[in-house]
Structure 1
Amino acid sequence: MTQNAARETLRDDEREDDPDEGPPPDDRNEGPSDGDSSPRPRRARRLLKWSAAVLALLIIGAAGAGYLYYRQLNDNIKKDPLNLGDTKVAEPTPNAAGQTPLNILLIGSDARDTEENQQLGGARETFGSTPLADVQMLVHLSADRSNMSVISMPRDTLVEIPKCTDPDDGTVYPASYGRTMTNQSLGHGGPGCTVATWQELTGIHIDHFVMVDFAGVVSMADAVGGVPVCVDANIHSRDGQGHGSGLKLSKGTHPIKGEQALQWLRTRYGFEDGSDLARAEAQHMYMNSLVRELRANATLSSPNKLRRLAEKATEALTVDPGLDTVKKLYDLSSELRKVKPERITMTTMPNRYVGARVEPTEDAEKLFRLVRDDIALDGKDAKPAKAEEKVPSDPAADDAEIAVQVLNGTRTDTLQAASGRTGTVAGVLKEKGFTGTTADTTSALSEKRTVVRYPSADLEGDARRVARALGIPADSVKRSTEVSGVTLVVGADWREGTEYKVPEEDNTTPESAQALNGADDKACMHVNPDYTW
């Protein structure tokens, strides 16, 4: 694993901006003073500078099956463990058809560990230094394979990086003291620590990761062929101080590939207001266009192009053991290709300033919940028919014989646990005939929704009977190895009263996520007049 070459501690501000784009404006590196009443510059939603090529690999399609099965290509693929953290997130429950979602974390490494990466990435002083996960993007494929949701995280998001152990030399990286920029997670043992960081932040189970570097983007983008992009005026991304990616295009739509594609993905100076938010918009447009091209364009029907793409792709990737062969990658691409562009939604994690950095907002947690619950971000999910309640293999005992423990889970990020809830709810159950109920008055957990948990199949019937008696929906009855018997956790949705009311949840994608639909082929980047020619 090349990222183990150097493990020095990085300051928060190291390699924050693209070296070959020159220094950023002063207000990029300094938070406003306490007395500054001027509005903050809109914060960068830092996206995958080179993600489009990775996504392309995953959705190549059946036409290339013959060449993607070359046995020799397997040796090209670099492998790393999936998760280096101690905390595991449970896999999602299968739907009625037995299908489960797939979550793949795409990681763009800024490693400058080869001559080619150095030439493309610039910054000679960073050669061989610990790489950063400057791009982090979660691809969620729905359980029924009807839609795809993408969430990107700004690289300077402040998170708690968990304890990770390097799989190569056994180095233990303790959990970060306070919050640290998320891109530093890659230097804590490898991509498996970035996966662990995402899982702890979002509660989303991640099945796979795919990591690529600068050189991988250029070679793969070149092998795929041109991807059409649009600008509304002539653009040259370069100013008098040398800032800019060097991208030069005339007004209109142009197919770009190779290094020019990398320039497009990295351009900040020249698009819109020159912020990273504009760069993110351009990256989304490129990725959507790439998806459409791969589905409609016949360029990949050429055996030589397919072979070249396969070779370049496998040389560029580092993956987890679940994707460590060409066949596994091909099988994954076949699953992803089932989604039509109009059912692909790309978003950026909603965030707010913390000094010069950002942190997730309440809208971010809502976005994470939608993904956890496998709810399409485009709002086009068919309304599910009311599912019939599952009939347990072991029927419920008599109410008086069911032992129930009640815990208080009403604590939230902003509210203390509601006093007396376990005693009140336990009293309700006893009045209904569940005389074996006990209240844990010392618990102060945090559970957003009231849930009934049970440890084994022989107690499922009892758990469902308790839920019915209180009006708790069947999908809030969960099997869990964390409990020893039927356990009712009173959630933040039941902080008062004796009657449980099922909360109505807003399942619309937050506007702050800046959603972009994959079928939007009319998008055109606005060019800043200061960068036209």
Structure 2
Amino acid sequence: MTLDAQARPDGHGGHDEGHGDGREDDDTSGRPRRWRRILRWSALALAVLLFGGAGAGYLYYEHLNGNITKARLNLGDSAPPQAAPNAAGQTPLNILLIGSDSRNSAADLKLGGSKADVGRPPLADVQMLLHVSADRSNMSVVSLPRDTMIPVPRCTGADDGKVYGALTLAMANESLGRGGPGCTVATWQKLTGIRVDHFMMVDFSGVVAMADAIGGVPVCVKENVWSHTAEGHGSGLKLKAGTTYVKGEQALQWLRTRYGFEDGTDVGRTHAQHMYMNAMVRQLRANATLGNPAEMRRLAETATKALTVDEGLGTVKKLYDLSTELQKVPTERITMTTLPTVQWSQDRNRLVPAAEDADQLLAMVRTDTPLDGRAAAQLTEQVSDDPAAPAGTLAVRVRNATGTATEATVPRRADAVVRALRAKGFTKAEAGAAAAPAARTLVQYPDHHLEGDAQAVAKALGIPLTQVRVSADVTGVTLTVGADWRTGATYPKSAAPAKAPESAAVLNGDKTDACMPVQPGFTW
């Protein structure tokens, strides 16, 4: 997890990047091996979840739990609905990873910033939404550059009840100081329309502890790099060209570096963070032994004290349970992305989401579509063996669910799609009652005997087979027209992208040769 406090030459927001100085179970029935195993894997769970945590070793379970700080999940006034379960009853997991630049401890202050920073509201300088697919086959990570200008909703502080009014536009990292991480969660939900299930927040010292725990993380630069300016800005990172195993404060410098990578913007920093996270996951999965008991004890103390989570993740056991879900995802199906942005017209030092590409990326996450393009490649394997009945004999119910949070339901949309189906020979198609707004168009059927029929309907209208699903909520073949298909007689190809847009800077977990370009003027 990266943590940065970058001083901006224009004086807008943010803080200095640095100057280079740089319980749930009470089982005591004689099963020590089981608990030792759980504690050890809990260490890995923290690390994988945070991409920067620590080892647990043989610490007493309650003591570890006592170290973890808990906070309210959502400080906003509303939240998107829970994602609908798939055929197996599974739902996606959405976890917001937050890196705080807080300098409110001696350890954190030593790692960056000045005494003047003590006591100021922290900034969420790292924000990454980790989306685990319902079937646990893939994982997507979407980073939000800290300089991005986005709406921030009304938030109410959990501790003091202070109300922070909504902001039309503000820097993304400011949400954390408006009551705590629950406001950052509320901000993400407003921005993306995705329900966040959990959050995990870590500070400077937690990053350093994890890097030390695993003996370093391999990172690569194409040229010698030194993140340092004549004015004293920069993380202080100084590396030779090629691959280096960074640990401790050097790992933190890598994660905080802006000046020195790519074009010196916050976007380049997110790309370096993704490289680090991928490499750390590979390191952890290759070797789950995180050191001797004494070292693990020290690191566990550091990490759990640095960790803040929502109440739903407030024990080591709960973190362990969550990690078992994450471990189901193969490394090669982890996809890192950055929310596409463009320069803000009112301030060249700020960014705003790139309308089309950002909408496409977030729509894929909302609809649980893999960002790596593999869903499209698997379509031929999903074709049903059940032959479809003749089109003229199939009863199809069409429902209108085209409304969104900002747009009204399209009038008589179900009738229009019924006409399109009848033109294709599905003469028994009928419009049904309107449905609750849905982001994505779906064709659903109640049992496998109707799978072929449902796929025939989808093919006739150009709807991808990945959007044909079994559901206990329907009694026959049912087409729910979502907000992704508000006009036209055939499903728009652009509404079902096969993979994330290029502007999202995709980095897959199995890419081992990634290497950061160095910004001109920052070589040595």
TM-score (norm 2): 0.74
Q: Displacement of 1:115 after TM fit?
A: 2.7
Aligned to 2:226: 236
What secondary structure does 2:152 align onto?
coil
Question: Can you list the C-alpha shifts for 1:232-279, whole angstroms capped at 9, x where unaligned?
Answer: 333332233322211222333221111111111112233333333332
Aligned to 1:495: 487
Change (3 A) 1:55 1:423: same
Q: Displacement of 1:117 after TM fit?
A: 2.1
Letter in 2 for 1:495: T
Q: Which of 349, 353, 357 is the aligned partner of 1:363?
A: 357
Aligned to 1:139: 130
Q: Counterparts of 1:120-199 in structure 2 under 5 Å?
A: 120-176=111-167, 178-199=168-189
Moved more, 370-379 or 315-324: 370-379
Distance 1:349 1:127 in 2: 31
Distance 1:490 1:517 in 2: 30
Letter in 2 for 1:174: G
Aligned to 1:521: 512
Q: Displacement of 1:16 after TM fit?
A: 2.8
Change (3 A) 1:119 1:412: closer
Change (3 A) 1:54 1:275: farther
Moved more, 416-425 or 503-512: 416-425
1:379 aligns with 2:369: no
Alpha-carbon contact 1:410-1:416 (below 8 Å) kept: yes
Question: Can you list the C-alpha shifts for 1:326-369, whole angstroms capped at 9, x where unaligned?
Answer: 11112222322222321111000011222222222221111111
Q: Displacement of 1:66 after TM fit?
A: 5.9
Q: Displacement of 1:410 after TM fit?
A: 7.4
Aligned to 1:305: 295
Change (3 A) 1:494 1:256: closer
Moved more, 510-519 or 263-272: 263-272
Change (3 A) 1:68 1:204: farther
Alpha-carbon contact 1:450-1:494 (below 8 Å) kept: no
Distance 1:334 1:103 in 2: 15
What secondary structure does 1:512 align onto?
helix
Change (3 A) 1:449 1:476: farther
Distance 2:302 2:49 in 1: 13
Distance 2:399 2:326 in 1: 43
Distance 1:261 1:183 in 2: 21
Distance 2:351 2:142 in 1: 16
Aligned to 1:96: 87
1:317 aligns with 2:314: no
Q: Displacement of 1:388 after TM fit?
A: 10
What secondary structure does 2:318 align onto?
helix
Q: Displacement of 1:310 after TM fit?
A: 2.2
Question: Can you list the C-alpha shifts for 1:31-53, whole angstroms capped at 9, x where unaligned?
Answer: xxxxxxxxxxxxxxxxxxxxxx9
Distance 2:48 2:431 in 1: 57
Aligned to 2:206: 216
Q: Counterparts of 1:196-275 in structure 2 under 5 Å?
A: 196-275=186-265
Alpha-carbon contact 2:140-2:336 (below 8 Å) kept: yes
What secondary structure does 1:522 align onto?
coil
Alpha-carbon contact 2:398-2:417 (below 8 Å) kept: no
Q: Which runs of 5+ in 2 are unaligned?
A: 1-9, 21-43, 387-394, 422-426, 447-452
Alpha-carbon contact 2:437-2:482 (below 8 Å) kept: no
Distance 1:379 1:408 in 2: 26
Alpha-carbon contact 1:410-1:495 (below 8 Å) kept: no
Q: Displacement of 1:109 after TM fit?
A: 1.1
Change (3 A) 1:492 1:280: closer
Letter in 2 for 1:262: L
Change (3 A) 1:410 1:258: closer
Instruction: Give the length in aligned residue pairs.
Output: 456
Letter in 1 for 2:487: R
Distance 1:241 1:95 in 2: 55
Letter in 1 for 2:13: R
Distance 1:488 1:295 in 2: 41
Distance 1:15 1:54 in 2: 34
Aligned to 1:35: none
Distance 1:406 1:526 in 2: 50
Letter in 2 for 1:287: M
What secondary structure does 1:90 align onto?
coil
Distance 1:157 1:112 in 2: 23
Distance 2:91 2:223 in 1: 45
Question: Can you list the C-alpha shifts for 1:150-171, whole angstroms capped at 9, x where unaligned?
Answer: 0001112222222221111111
**Identity over aligned residues, as a percent?**
53
What secondary structure does 1:139 align onto?
strand
What secondary structure does 2:199 align onto?
strand
TM-score (norm 1): 0.72
Letter in 2 for 1:58: L
Q: Displacement of 1:424 after TM fit?
A: 6.7
What secondary structure does 1:254 align onto?
strand
Moved more, 203-212 or 417-426: 417-426
Alpha-carbon contact 1:271-1:278 (below 8 Å) kept: yes
Distance 1:368 1:153 in 2: 12
Q: Counterparts of 1:25-174 in structure 2 under 5 Å?
A: 56-58=47-49, 67=58, 70-174=61-165
Change (3 A) 1:20 1:425: closer
Distance 1:299 1:452 in 2: 47
1:284 aligns with 2:282: no
Q: Counterparts of 1:422-433 in structure 2 under 5 Å?
A: none
Distance 2:503 2:431 in 1: 48
Alpha-carbon contact 1:105-1:210 (below 8 Å) kept: yes
1:336 aligns with 2:336: no
Change (3 A) 1:191 1:386: farther
